[in-house]
C-alpha cells in the first residue's frame, strides 16, 4: 500500500509538471489580454487580433490604432502609419513568461521588446531600438536619425517602475537646413505614475545639445547638462512636494556664453487631491474650453484654500566675468478662500522673501543692472 502511495504521489507530481505549462499559458493569456485592454484611451485603441496558445509557447498578434485625429494627421504628414501590428513570441516557463515582441514592419520602427514576467505580474523589460533612420517626405522634409538605444527596467503589479535609459545620439535635419544634434542622453528613474504625474525620482544627463543654422554654423551649444526631479506624497497629510534641479556647465550662443547655470525649484505643501484633479482635466484637454475652465475652477479654489509654497532654493550663473545668484520663497497661506471670485485677494495674502546678488564684475559688464 505504501508503495502504491509513493507511485501515486510521483504520478501526481509528473501530471502536475506536465499540465503546468498549460496553466502558465492560461495565466499568461489572461494577463496579456488584461494588459492590452488597459492600453485603451482616447488617443489609442489596442486589441488582440490573434492569440495562438500552445503547450510550451504562444504567438500573439496585437493591433494598435491611433484614434486622435490631430496625431493621425501629423503621422500622415511625417509619412508614418496610424496603425501598428505587434507580433509577440511567448514561451511558458515554470514560474514565468518570456516574450519577444517586434513591430510587423520593422523598417518603420525597428523596436524590440523583451520581457520576463513572473506569475504575480512583476516584469523585467528591455526595449531595444536598432539604428533608426526616418527620411522626410514632400509634405515634411524633416529627417531623424537615432543610434541604437536601450530602455531597461523592472515593473511591479503595484505600479512601481525602476528604469535606465541610454540614447547615444539623435540627429534631426530640417528641410530649411538647420540641424539639431543630441549626444549621449542617459536616464535613470525609480517611482510610479500617479494620476498622470511621476512620484519618485528621475535623473537625466546629456553630454551636448547643438543647434546649427542653415549654414551649418553653431547657433546654440549646451554642454554637460543634468536634470534631477523628485516628488513625494505624504500619505498622512496628502500633501505633495516636488523638486526640480537643472545644472548646465556651459551655454554658448552668438550673443555670448553662460557658465555653471544652476536652478533648484520646489513646490511643496500642495493638496494632492485638488492638484490631481487639475492635472487630470488639463491633461485630457490641453486646450481648455469654457466648460473645462468651469470644471477646473473649484479645484483651484481648494488648492489655494489649503495653501502651498513655491520656492527658488537657488538660481545662479556665471556670465562673462561676473556672477548672479537669487533665492526666493512665496507662500500661499492656508485659508486663502474663493480666489476665483476675488483674484485681487491673492497678492495681499502672499508671504515670503527674496534675496538676489550681483557681483561687481557683472555690474561693470552690464551697467543697466545698477
Alpha carbons within 13 angstroms on the beta-carbon side of residue 269 total 13
What's the confidence (pLDDT) of residue 26? 61
Calpha distance 98→111 (Å, rounded): 17
Q: Which long-range contacts (CB under 8 A, 24 or more apart) does 344-352 make?
A: 346/304, 352/328
Residue 334 within any structural domain of the chain: no
Sequence-separated (6 or more) residues with CB below 8 Å from residue 262 = 245, 246, 247, 314, 315, 316, 317
Residue 173 within any structural domain of the chain: no
Express each pLDDT in 88-137 by its tens digit.
888 887 778 888 888 887 777 788 989 888 877 788 999 999 988 877 77
Query: Residue holding cell 505633495?
Result: 240
Residue 330 within any structural domain of the chain: no
Residue 109 within any structural domain of the chain: yes
Cα–Cα distances in angstroms (integers) from residue 68 to residues 45, 46, 85, 113, 154, in the given order: 10, 13, 18, 25, 30
Average pLDDT for residues 46-59, to the nearest whole number?
82
Residue 34 within any structural domain of the chain: yes
Residue 89 within any structural domain of the chain: yes
Express each pLDDT in 315-351 by its tens digit.
999 988 889 999 999 999 998 888 888 888 888 889 9
Express each pLDDT in 219-270 by its tens digit.
999 999 999 999 999 989 999 999 999 999 999 998 889 999 999 999 999 9
- What proportions of the chain, in percent to the nearest 5, are helix, strand and coil? 25, 50, 25
Residue-number span of the structural domain to which 28 is assigned: 1-119
How many domains are there within the chain?
Answer: 1
Residue 92 within any structural domain of the chain: yes
Amino acid at each position: 500500500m505504501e508503495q502504491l502511495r509513493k507511485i501515486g504521489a510521483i504520478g501526481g507530481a509528473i501530471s502536475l509538471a506536465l499540465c503546468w505549462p498549460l496553466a502558465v499559458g492560461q495565466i499568461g493569456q489572461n494577463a496579456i489580454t488584461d494588459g492590452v485592454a488597459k492600453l485603451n484611451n482616447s488617443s489609442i485603441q489596442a486589441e488582440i487580433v490573434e492569440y495562438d496558445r500552445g503547450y510550451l509557447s504562444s504567438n500573439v498578434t496585437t493591433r494598435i490604432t491611433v484614434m486622435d485625429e490631430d496625431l493621425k494627421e501629423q503621422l500622415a504628414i511625417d509619412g508614418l502609419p496610424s496603425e501598428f501590428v505587434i507580433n509577440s513570441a511567448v514561451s511558458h516557463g515554470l514560474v514565468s513568461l518570456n516574450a519577444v515582441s517586434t513591430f510587423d514592419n520593422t523598417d518603420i520602427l525597428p523596436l524590440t521588446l523583451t520581457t520576463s514576467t513572473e506569475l504575480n505580474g512583476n516584469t523585467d523589460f528591455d526595449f531595444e531600438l536598432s539604428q533608426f533612420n526616418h527620411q522626410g517626405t514632400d509634405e515634411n522634409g524633416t529627417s531623424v536619425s537615432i543610434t541604437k538605444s536601450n530602455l531597461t527596467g523592472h515593473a511591479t503589479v503595484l505600479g512601481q517602475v525602476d528604469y535606465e535609459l541610454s540614447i547615444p545620439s539623435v540627429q534631426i535635419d530640417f528641410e530649411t537646413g538647420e540641424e539639431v544634434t543630441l549626444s549621449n542622453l542617459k536616464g535613470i528613474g525609480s517611482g510610479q505614475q500617479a494620476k498622470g504625474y511621476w512620484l519618485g525620482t528621475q535623473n537625466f544627463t546629456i553630454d551636448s545639445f547643438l543647434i546649427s543654422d542653415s549654414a551649418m554654423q553653431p547657433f546654440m551649444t549646451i554642454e554637460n547638462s543634468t536634470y534631477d526631479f523628485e516628488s513625494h506624497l505624504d500619505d498622512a497629510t496628502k500633501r505633495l512636494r516636488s523638486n526640480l534641479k537643472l545644472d548646465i556647465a556651459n551655454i554658448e550662443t552668438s550673443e555670448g556664453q553662460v557658465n555653471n547655470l544652476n536652478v533648484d525649484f520646489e513646490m511643496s505643501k500642495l493638496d494632492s487631491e485638488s492638484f490631481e484633479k487639475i492635472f487630470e482635466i488639463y491633461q485630457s484637454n490641453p486646450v481648455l474650453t469654457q466648460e473645462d475652465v468651469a470644471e477646473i475652477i473649484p479645484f483651484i479654489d481648494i488648492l489655494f484654500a489649503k495653501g502651498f509654497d513655491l520656492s527658488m532654493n537657488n538660481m545662479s550663473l556665471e556670465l562673462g566675468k561676473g556672477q548672479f545668484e537669487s533665492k526666493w520663497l512665496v507662500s500661499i497661506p492656508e485659508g486663502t478662500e474663493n480666489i476665483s471670485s476675488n483674484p485681487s485677494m491673492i497678492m495681499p495674502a502672499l508671504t515670503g522673501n527674496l534675496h538676489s546678488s550681483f557681483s561687481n564684475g557683472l555690474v561693470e559688464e552690464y551697467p543697466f543692472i545698477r
